[in-house]
Amino acid sequence: MNLKELVKDIVQDYDSIPKIEINDICTHSEEVTNGSLFVAMYGKNFDGHDFIQKAIEKGASAIISNGRDIGILPIPNIKVANPRLAASKIAAEYYGNPSKKLKVIGITGTNGKTTTASIVYNILKSGGIKCAQLGTLGVIADGFISEKTLTTPDPIKLHKIFSDFLKKEFSHIIMEVSSHALDQMRVSDIEFDVASFTNLSPEHLDYHLTIEDYFHAKSKLFHGLSITSTSIINFDDKMGKLIAKESKAPVISVSKTGDSDIYFSDLEYNIDGIKGTILAGDKIIEVDSALIGEFNVENILCAVGIANSIGMSEEVISLGIKNSSVIPGRMEVFYKDNAYEKVLKTISKMKSRESLLNVLFGCGGDRDPLKRPEMGRIVEKYADKLWITPDNPRSELIESINNEIISGLSLQNHMDFDDRGVALSKAINDLGAKDILLVLGKGRENYQEISGEKMKYSDIAIIEKIINAD
């Protein structure tokens, strides 16, 4: 695409921009090839402006920078106030604004994004709609290889993916929208038709620092909606009504009780799943789900709200929910979710008097250390025995992370390990006939990140090996 046309919406001095052909857009100098437009952005650990010379050497045709003094360049240097926002606008333009031609559903919240997205995906598939799911599990779409990425990719990758979906005649996209992505303007030029809020709890304060900043990041999704869009808000979460006030689009509220637009008229949930009837206006939707836990009741409600807003029938919604019997990494035999309190509360209600609840968990390195004692306290509140293990210690010492968890404990019912595999094997082999082992943290991750290196590791592989050996 021609550079002059590509940057027309982000520059004032349009006439000074030369007509140069641009072959792609990059924010990483390693990806630059002949004809690239390199956008220099600040990152967590690096500043893209330090790599401009390298980008030029690799063949970049033009640079977008934040205006800092980098000297005279041999190629055009387009200076903007916010390179992140510029990258978003340019990517949308380069790929032909694909989100305008698709039905885009965005789901945000601390927890429940993946499960809600997966349920919506199954509902739409049950209705014969050619749809794709994008998020923590990667790309889930017929004809596409699922590749792990950030929960919400950067704007360049995102618009390219959308463009690829459009070429393959997909009509609906269900995507998870992280608070990091909203704060970093990765979705600023995505036109959402539906946006849903699941819940908000203080999980990412290592990045956002305060709960107010975290809330503000989440609310950006709803600020950016048009009047023709729809917001689906979980009113069972205390932040739901506050998020609703931030929405520029009409709001549909969901909750377990009748104090909302969509709710359960009757509900039963236990170890066997979730059953009940949801009322959504004049629609009566029967729910028979193998998913378990009160949090999944809320996820189902959000999914029903989304599906109902785009016109899916009662029968299709019910079938899609039933088809969502397993969400990879989400309360399978093994569970991956940071909402420890909800998970533990649910499991503790399900165990018998004769059974002991064992919990194997750890805390990630280079993340908020203040959460570690609190996580220990929460687990100790419900568990009979704690197995404290590494969970991606990254650049931190495993012993230091474990000790910070232990500092929050008041009982002596724990063991700590520097090898997660050893701990998991011992925990499984120590189980009594009616005991429960809850393995938290890694889910379907197939690595441990230690000292900057990703080492092959899988909780599931260890569990399956021991179970199959029996």
pLDDT, tens digit, for every residue of 120-138? 999 999 999 999 999 988 8
Q: What is the pLDDT of residues 356-398, one digit of tens each?
A: 999 999 999 988 788 899 999 999 999 999 999 999 999 899 9
If one looks up domain 3-83 in CATH, what number appears? 3.40.1390.10
Class of domain 98-322: alpha beta
Residues in the chain: 470
* Alpha-carbon distance values, 42 to 48, 57, 83, 84, 433 (Å): 6, 20, 9, 8, 54
Longest distance between any two alpha carbons in the chain, whole Å: 78
Q: What are phi and psi of 187, to 5 degrees?
A: -115, 20
Spatial neighbors of 295 by CB under 8 A, at least 6 apart, are 111, 112, 337, 339, 342, 343, 346
Give the C-alpha separation, 399 to 389, whole Å: 9
Report, as an integer, the average pLDDT of 394-410.
94
Measured between alpha carbons, how far is 279 from 196 in angstroms, rounded to an integer?
Answer: 18
- CATH hierarchy code of domain 340-469: 3.90.190.20
Burial of 11 from C-beta contacts in 10 A (0-12 / 13-18 / 19+): middle
Lowest mean pLDDT among 62-66, 246-250, 268-272, 362-366: 268-272
How many Cβ atoms sit within 10 Å of the Cβ of residue 333?
11
Query: Where are the domains positioned within the chain?
Result: 3-83, 98-322, 340-469
- Local confidence band at 336 (pLDDT 50, 70, 90 cut-offs): very low
Residue 334 has pLDDT above 50, yes or no: no
Least-confidence region, from 131-145, 146-160, 179-193, 455-469: 146-160
- % the chain with pLDDT above 90: 71
The reported pLDDT for the residue numbered 330 is 56
pLDDT tops 90 at residue 469: no
